Amino acid sequence: MKTMKRLAALVAAGGAYPLGACAQTLDSGDTAWMLTSTALVLFMTLPGLALFYAGLVRNRNVLSVAMQCFAIACLVSVIWVVFGYSMAFGSSSLNGLVGDLSKAWLAGVGIDALSGSYPETVFVMFQLTFAIITPALIVGAFAERMRFSAMLMFMAAWIVIVYFPVAHWVWGGGWLGAMGFRDFAGGAVVHVTAGVAAVVIALVLGNRRGFPTTPMPPHNLPMTVTGACMLWVGWFGFNAGSALAADGAAGMAMLVTHVSAAVGSLTWMTAEWVKFGKPSVLGIVTGMVAGLATITPASGFVGPLGALVIGVAAGLGCFFATQFMKRKLEIDDSLDVFPVHGVGGIIGLLLTAVFSATGLGGLGLDEGVSIGSQFGVQVLGILVTAAWCGAVSLVLLKIIAIIVPLRVSAEEETEGLDLVLHEERGYNL
């Protein structure tokens, strides 16, 4: 409950972030931890996610995926400085729908400005890394077939119209946070938005040539495993860093994050072993990502018992969602963004309501709030976030398609995006 008390004090004082410390005194320990967490979260995207995704595609598209992750990091960073930070964490406007532009160009964010017990510059950079990885996750949905120019246009518009407002709703003093919606480190803000956008893009673009009849195995699993290991380590900054202090809340968030990742890996591996007869390296690392995504919204509210159950739910839920989407619906979300991140985020948000209860090992619900009422708030937050993201993503794609083609031609897809779009090869053998 310590973290939630900091929330109440900060909001009462007009603070911007729902999990920040209320004391306006610099603490070197908190500052050091937040600097470390910031580096860890960026490490998740560059190089973690870039390597994870690059290994999963065919060798003629390995550079295109890495290029997309890298370019998104650069693009989002510039938008964040100009007005993104202000839209997400400026003073609420339009009845809590979005932040105002009082902090555009990082106005007032000087060397002496504090965000709780550490410099506001560190908070700006920490939150920027979340804004970077969210659209980068979507890359897995359209891998091997989307034009680079269309991707840049979509991501620039999507981060502004979807990510910044949703971040404000939940973390910036907006209406969902005011209702008591619980999302510690990004179940809705990061994983639901990325997952929903992914499935919309996959449907609009259509399947890759040959899917689902032609096998499209990863071209470099060691690269994928390396990236997965980086994601696991970096996720400690993602979740434990969201405590915004070097304290017990951060320690518990780190513990439950690790437990859920481990259990998710073993659960996915076991389900795959039973269904297909052999456990795979791809399966165990994908289960790890599912466990991490699912614990993300709950990591500041649950204990080890909750983490164990959430890990099992992540492994089973995301495994069967992946099978259903690819084999039954035949939707080519190339690298399983929606079934892993979208479904995982939804499961985690719902189970947050259950395992926050002290009777189930959690850190406690707010006074006067029952598991049922909290569950209702979580459902509302999921539905609104998914509906807004889905509608906006669809409209953006339709508009961009009028300006430039969304997809490469069939011949270009066969040749590979590395040569067609970047005139480079990943391998010269």
Phi, psi (rounded to 5 degrees) for 98: -160, 155
Angstrom distance (rounded) from CA 173 to CA 118? 19
**Could you give the count of Cα atoms lying within 13 Å of 397 in the half-sphere of its Cβ?**
21
Whether 202 and 142 have beta carbons less than 8 Å apart is answered as yes
For residue 334, give the 3-state DSSP assignment.
coil
In contact, 168 and 87? CB cutoff 8 Å? yes
Nearest 5°: the CA angle 119, 124, 126 is 95
Q: Does residue 10 register a pLDDT over 90?
A: no
- Cα angle: 348, vertex 349, 354; to 5 degrees: 85
> CB under 8 Å to 113, separation ≥6 — which residues?
119, 120, 121
Pairing of strands 114-115, 118-119: antiparallel
Which tens digit of pLDDT belongs to each residue from 249-296?
999 999 999 999 999 999 999 999 999 999 999 999 999 999 999 999
pLDDT of 412 above 90: yes
Which residues fall within 8 angstroms of residue 370, CB to CB, at 6 or more apart? Answer: none
> Is the pLDDT at 1 greater than 60, yes or no?
no
Residue carrying structure tokens 């902090």 = 103
Residue 136 CA, distance from chain mean position: 9
Is the N-terminal amide bond of 405 cis, ω within 30° of 0? Answer: no
Exposure on the CB side of residue 70, measured as CA atoms within 13 A: 9
In whole angstroms, what is the distance from residue 32 CA to residue 297 CA?
24
Q: Position 26: which residue type?
A: L
Q: What is the pLDDT of residues 190-214, one digit of tens each?
A: 999 999 999 999 999 999 999 999 9
pLDDT digits (tens, 9 = 90+) for 306-342: 999 999 999 999 999 999 999 999 999 999 999 999 9
Q: Which whole number is the average pLDDT over 57-81? A: 98
Tell me phi and psi for residue 216, to 5 degrees.
Answer: -130, 65
Complete domains list, the chain, with CATH: 26-405 (1.10.3430.10)
Q: How far apart are CA 312 and CA 292, in angstroms?
A: 12
Give Cα 378 to chain centroid, integer Å.
Answer: 17
Alpha-carbon gap, residue 386 to 342, rounded angstroms? 9
Kindly compute the dihedral angle of the four CA atoms of residues 144, 146, 149, 150, in this order, to the nearest 10 degrees: -160
172: Cβ–Cβ under 8 A, 6 or more apart, which residues? 16, 17, 18, 88, 89, 90, 92, 99
The residue among 258, 340, 240, 232 whose CA lies nearest residue 300 is 240
Residue 429 — very low, low, confident or very high, per pLDDT cuts 50/70/90? Answer: confident
What 8-state DSSP symbol labels residue 27? -
**Residue 23 pLDDT grade (very low, low, confident, very high; cuts 50, 70, 90):** low
In the block, tokens 């165990």 appear at 284
Using alpha carbons only, give the angle 89, 93, 98 rounded to the nearest 5 degrees. Answer: 50
pLDDT tens column, 152-178: 999 999 999 999 999 999 999 999 999
Tell me if residue 99 falls in helix, strand or coil. Answer: strand
DSSP state letter for 190: I
Q: What is the CA radius of gyration of the chain?
A: 20
| 92 three-class SS | strand
Report how far residue 348's alpha carbon sits from residue 231's, in angstroms, rounded to the nearest whole number.
Answer: 18
Report pLDDT digits (tens) over 91-132.
999 999 999 999 999 999 999 999 999 999 999 999 999 999
Look up the pTM and report it: 0.95
Q: What phi and psi values does residue 114 have, to the nearest 5 degrees?
A: -115, 150
**Which residues, listed in sequence order, are joined to residue 114 by a DSSP beta bridge?**
119
Per the DSSP assignment, residues forming a β-bridge with 99 are 92
